[in-house]
Amino acid sequence: MQTHTYDVVIVGAGGAGMRAALESSKRARTAVLTKLYPTRSHTGAAQGGMCAALANVEEDNWEWHTFDTIKGGDYLVDQDAAEVMCKEAIDAVLDLEKMGLPFNRTPEGRIDQRRFGGHTRNHGEAAVRRACYAADRTGHMILQTLYQNCIKQNVEFYNEFYVLDLLLTETDEGPVTAGVVSYELATGEIHVFRAKSVIFATGGFGKVWKTTSNAHTLTGDGMGVCYRRGIPLEDMEFYQFHPTGLAGLGVLLTEGARGEGGILRNASGERFMERYAPTIKDLAPRDMVSRSMVLEVREGRGAGPNKDYVYLDLTHLPKEQIEAKLPDITEFARTYLGVDPVTELVPVFPTAHYAMGGIPTDIETRVLRDNEHVIPGLFAAGECACVSVHGANRLGTNSLLDINVFGRRAGIAAAEHAQQVGHVDLPEDAPGHTIALVEKLRSSTGGERVAALKREMQETMDLNAQVYRTEATLKQALGDVQELKRRYQSVAIQDKGVRYNTDLMEAIELGFLLDLAELVVVGALERKESRGGHAREDYPNRDDVNFMRHTMAYRHVGEDGQEAIQLDYKPVTVTRYQPMERKY
Amino acid sequence: MTAMAEAPVAAPVAADVTFRIHRYQPEFDSEPHWEEYTVPLYPTDRVLTALEKIKGEIDGSLTFRRSCGHGICGSDAMRINGRNRLACKTLVKDLDISKPITVEPIKGLPLEKDLVVDMDPFFDAYRSVMPFLITDGHEPTRERLQSAEDRARFDDGTKCILCACCTTSCPVYWTDDQYFGPAAIVAANRFIFDSRDSGAEQRLEILNEKEGVWRCRTTFNCTDACPRGIEVTKAIQEVKRALIFRRF
Amino acid sequence: MSTTAQPGPVNIPAPRSSQRSSQRSNFELYSWLFMRVSGLVLVFLVLGHLLIMNVLDGGVQRINFAFVAGRWSSPFWQVWDLLMLWLAMLHGTNGMRTIINDYAERDQTRFWLKMILYVAAGFTIILGTLVIFTFDPNIG
């Protein structure tokens, strides 16, 4: 075992983690721990763009952007946070450009902008061109640019270091951050990192579902680590299903395709979004489009041999436009479905995409341990955090914005915190918990296999906790997940080596996934309304009287050692926009 | 979602496909060996699906890197039937399944385990060409202006996902690990030809070294290997040309 | 926790800096350029040589000591043949050097192969040059 000491430790090297590292490493001694090589992070898979009211191509301002974000989030957005994000969006984009990001350009040489779902002019009048983009590779460019600037600044990375525990030291004022414990994949060694500040930027947990746009490695580790240490997770029932995943595969096709003029059609070729969102049609927010697609399929208007998907139609767009602005998704359709979007309709269906919920933070990215108190020295940013700027449904492009705005804030806040305080003592037996976790799996002789449990979890979640949910399906999912958690106790791994033991790593990841799956289902069961990404068939309407509040889920361990989820609630911050009916 | 659960009307047939996989467990094996596994696969399945199946159902100790699963993150570069490709971008229908499909780690980087190699030398080469925007003068308040043509000039290089398919397909790199390799040169090229950048001189100086672009033999292996369709050899030639015209 | 918990220097090497020794010279550039230029010139020289010797001057069977003596009495042919000798030898040697660099895996092997190559090339160039300039038509 080795011990390292830093001022700031950042967990995760995706967009948020590296944006934080760029700020923090200028001010304090910083290490970035990542379970992958930085450029493998899933920020790179984001495609369409990053919204900011630059007004480069048409009139726009950040207040309209704020309104869209709040309305898009079905009024569950904390409005002070949305204001911060949309206001700082402009500088976030300009900063990236100055770091070298190759945005597409207007004829005048400015950053070009395009339309995106839910982003409108003057509070919903019409779609506005707000998304700054680099073809359909915006996330890839952001990830590469941030990594390049980390090289420029000589940021210290620990690649393939998998963080498995958060160290909190109890003081009179409550828990204080002491560091993290990490497992080095290459050697199997345990490393303790002492730090004054820790930033979690570990991304989402899409692998809870089978059909997902998420990477194999998006297993919610950061959220799971925090949750197991007693930190609540906020709004876990709100998970976004992106409308246009390649049917059956889940590979993402950007909303930018519709921003460029693409149209969704059912089996008979009807542009069905006209019925659901008469004003902005195909550019309605993702939750509405996904629900509409599922309804079309259920009512028998789906396409294909099983009538189980709809079409994305780009055939009316000029070939040059498709190839210049949507090259990657064109290639995905060709490679994985053998369909050429230039001449053919592309089969699409919703795919699990983004966690609106996560580790609760305030607008300074400080992690909350309940509704009011922060944990000194602990920060979170990006998809793993819940500020909450996305509320019940994130608007397209706002995730790339989130990671840049709040990643930057986290980096600054963490470094400033580290400058003001000293290291606290490590809790007793700091690595003990992690060593026990690893050893238990390594020495297990049970008969359960990781892949089988994971597949069963994903199948029940796809079937019972997807776009539409009911009491019955959720109860089914809960029962299934709890049974899987029981079986997980006797999961065994086959790789008995210590070096690059990915078998072990996947077993640990599955543990986090099961925890998070249960949290999603429990939160969803208790939220008896439909709002944004959470659609209950048995409660089809939004209920602002009873549910205009964030869910806070705590891990509760009873006297008998049995753990259970305890739900509490947190009020939504409302500044200037009162909830109203959501129409597009 | 009843429609989703219906049985497929014309279900594609899964065929048994045999994979011949390079195995090396550093703690148990004295040297690498081959092992064969047979799994049922659909023609539209990816090689990555097969590896996942083998790991999940047959032998959990099979080790490989993967993340996004659709050719964006660059984790799963490997040699499939002797060619460098991404396992998640290689479909079964594009391979000859009458013979076993061989899967090996990429060449030229130190082997760690099974299909995993040490990527550090690769990233070291990348880091050493200064792959970041270098500017001088005052920073503008708004964005730097750049015409669409100037932006298009270096577009090809920006697609790179650092998977190392090109570098580890280069015969020069196989024997000379000091050579920067195609990926690093592409990264340098991307900035040399960016109209906003003013560090071209320094990067050219680095690539003019003994282990720089002059080691390139234009075998075009790199261009063939690139899963992103980057014209890698052309990018290297552009750097050579820039060096020549800088001198004369 | 034992004494290892004390804050201390990082035990893991920080991200490696490049181990390449930067050698600032244009040697590789010039040698690359030389290959292209000498190749072009050689095409002209060698094809010209073959054409003149085998066709225009009446065929290879005419070549004997007197023929060679006659040609090398003219500075034009001396320069032509000297150029051909030098360019071909340097071009070939540089090509061989490249191949050795590409295929020799050990530094030792690489060094000695190149030494042999340079000695052989040097010998041939010096001998050839001497012959061209010191050729005495009266020997025979």
Encode burial over B155-187: b for 16+ CB neighbours within 10 A, e otherwise: bbbbbbbbbbbbbbbbebbbbbbbbbbbbbbbb
| Reported pTM | 0.93
Give the mean pLDDT of chain A.
96
Taking CB atoms and an 8 Å cut-off, how many pairs form between chains B and C? 49
Alpha-carbon distance values, A395 to A242, A246, B244, C123 (Å): 10, 20, 50, 76
Instruction: Give percent of chain A with pLDDT exceeding 70.
Output: 100
Residues of chain A that touch chain C, judged by Cβ-Cβ distance less than 8 Å: 1-5, 154, 156-158, 192, 194, 423, 426, 428-430
Q: How far is C55 from chain B (nearest CA, A)?
A: 36
Mutate to test the interface with A, among C1, C3, C11 (most CBs of A within 10 A): C1
CA dist., res. A249 & res. A412, Å (int): 39
Please give the Cα distance from A280 to A440 (Å, whole number). 54
Minimal Cβ distance to B151: which of A104, A332, A494: A104
Question: Of A199-208, B124-133, C66-75, which gets the smallest average pLDDT?
Answer: C66-75
Continuous segment of H or E residues that includes residue A446: none
What residues contact residue B130 under an 8 Å CB cut-off, 6+ apart? Answer: A152, B188, B191, B199, B202, B203, B206
* Structural domains for chain C: 28-134 (1.20.1300.10)
Q: What is the spatial distance between Cα A134 and Cα B195, in angstroms, rounded to a whole number?
A: 16
| pLDDT above 90 (res C6) | no
CA distance B208 to chain C (A): 7
The sign one gets for the Cα dihedral B234, B239, B242, B243 is: negative
Per-residue confidence (pLDDT) for residue B4, from 0 to 100:
42
Residue A414 C-alpha, separation from nearest chain B C-alpha, in angstroms = 25
Find the mean pLDDT for residues A479-483.
97
pLDDT band at A82 (very low <50, low <70, confident <90, very high): very high
User: Which of B10, B72, B194 is the closest to A305 by Cβ?
Assistant: B10
Task: Give yes or no: A487 in active site.
Answer: no
pLDDT value of position C133: 83
Q: Lowest mean pLDDT of A28-32, A328-332, B171-175, B223-227, name the range.
A: B171-175
Largest CA distance in chain C: 96
A579 pLDDT higher than 80: yes
Q: Chain B within 8 Å of C102 (Cβ-Cβ)?
A: yes
A182 near B CB under 8 A? no
Beta bridge partners of B40: B16
Chain B residues near residue C28 by CB distance under 8 angstroms:
208-210, 212, 214-215
pLDDT tens digits, A375-427: 999 999 999 999 999 999 999 999 999 999 999 999 999 999 999 999 999 99
Smallest CA–CA distance from A145 into chain B, residue: B132
ipTM: 0.94
Q: Does A103 touch chain B if contact means CB atoms closer than 8 Å? A: yes
Output the pLDDT for position A420. Answer: 96
pLDDT of B192-207, one tens digit each?
Answer: 999 999 999 999 999 9
The answer, yes or no, to whether residue B36 has pLDDT greater than 60, is: yes
Written as one letter, the residue type at C1 is M
Q: Identify whether the C-beta of residue A520 lies closer than 8 Å to the C-beta of residue A512.
A: no
End-to-end CA distance of chain A: 57
pLDDT digit string, tens, across residues C83-137: 999 999 999 999 999 999 888 878 899 999 999 999 999 999 999 999 888 877 7
Structure-token pair, residue A530 = 């439909």
Mutation target among A4, A9, A148, A424 for the C interface, most CBs of C within 10 A: A4
CB nearest A151 (choices: B132, B144, B159) = B132
> For tokens 């990643």, what's the residue?
A407
Cα dihedral value A275, A278, A283, A286, nearest 10 = -50
Suggest the residue from B59, B67, B90 to mutate for an interface test with chain A (most A CBs closer than 10 A). B67
Q: Chain C contacts of A426, Cβ < 8 Å?
A: 1, 5
Which position among A19, A194, A228, A286 bears the catalytic label?
Answer: A286
Please, which pLDDT band fits residue A41 given cuts at 50, 70 and 90? very high
pLDDT at C103: 83
